[in-house]
Amino acid sequence: MHIFIISDSIGETGELVAKAALSQFEEVYHKAKIKRFTHIDSLEHIQEIVTLAKSHRAIIIYTLVRDDMKDQVASLSEQSGVEAIDLMGPVITKFEKVIGSQAMQEPGLVRRLDEDYFAKIEAVEFAVKYDDGRDPRGLLQADIVLVGVSRTSKTPLSQYLANKRWKVANVPLVPEVEPPEELYEIDPAKCFGLVINPEKLNSIRRERLKAIGLSDEANYAKIERIQEELDHFHSVVSKIQCEVIDVTNRAVEETANIIISKRQDSLKNCTRT
């Protein structure tokens, strides 16, 4: 017994269904020969496969998303007396009816969407693991590194970028603590310093202190302390020679778009060289 799987992707779904069905027929399960015809993207290929199926008296199982290709398999199989089973067509038709929109008819989307999803999950986990300078080893593995004083939106920015599938590590800068050595070893093109207006930062920090039940007169929120931290910040980023972005009146999304644009440009330039 021969079974031909015709797919516009890798044919895994068709083979799994074929084996599941064959398992109900113990006498032929181990004798049946399953052959995949993958990444089929032309009507000419379908003609050749149907002709071959006829000569082998094979059953065709097809998982195609383009209407013209499905129609071609059905028509040629009927003309040739070949049994053909459309796995995707009836399901897609039902989905179109319930969802109320037409299918895109683009092959390979499942694998692409799955890869995109898992890349996003990996990036989010990376951002959590290497948030707030917890492990400086992450700086060498990151796609993007953010540095800045406290309350410059490093963490929310890291998470936003992670949802765009960028692996992000961030490092808080304080005068009393030397930055990790890894910060000076990374490519400056992937590092971004986040700076903010002292008065704006003073207001943000005072509100933060109130929110956690502390006095807004604490040293953390004093202009003198903020200026000291910003001076230290400028000293560090000048050594790194990285891009500095003023986040004073910018939403996280706006800052993220600037970073992504600059990072993509630097990667393109790197590829050209």
* Chosen domain end from 107, 134, 153: 107
List the CATH number of the domain containing 61. Answer: 3.40.50
Are residues 251 and 140 part of one domain?
yes
Are residues 126 and 17 part of one domain?
no
Taking all residues of the chain, what is their mean pLDDT, rounded to a whole number?
Answer: 94
Are residues 7 and 24 part of one domain?
yes
CA distance 146 to 153: 10
The tens-digit pLDDT sequence of the chain (273 residues) is 999 999 999 999 999 999 999 999 999 999 999 999 999 999 999 999 999 999 999 999 999 999 999 999 999 999 999 999 999 999 999 999 999 999 989 887 777 777 888 999 999 999 999 999 999 999 999 999 999 999 999 999 999 999 999 999 999 999 999 999 999 999 999 999 999 999 999 999 999 999 999 998 899 999 999 999 999 999 999 999 999 999 999 999 999 999 999 999 999 887 665
User: Which stretch of DSSP H or E encloses residue 124?
Assistant: helix 109-129
Q: What is the pLDDT of residue 273?
A: 57
Are residues 151 and 69 part of one domain?
no
Query: Into how many domains does the chain fold?
Result: 2
59-to-1, 62, 178, 265 alpha-carbon distances in Å: 8, 10, 70, 51
Cβ neighbour number for residue 206 with a 10 Å cutoff:
18
Are residues 210 and 158 part of one domain?
yes
* Chosen domain end from 85, 107, 129: 107
Strand boundaries in the chain, DSSP class E = 2-7, 33-37, 59-63, 84-86, 144-148, 168-172, 191-195, 243-246
Are residues 6 and 138 part of one domain?
no
Q: What is the pLDDT of residue 271?
A: 66
Are residues 129 and 222 part of one domain?
yes
Are residues 103 and 51 part of one domain?
yes
* Chosen domain end from 68, 89, 107: 107
Q: What is the pLDDT of residue 116?
A: 83
Are residues 39 and 142 part of one domain?
no
CA distance 3 to 83: 10
Q: What is the pLDDT of residue 272?
A: 66
Are residues 215 and 117 part of one domain?
yes
Are residues 184 and 229 part of one domain?
yes
Question: What is the extent of the structural domain holding 61?
Answer: 2-107
Are residues 146 and 97 part of one domain?
no
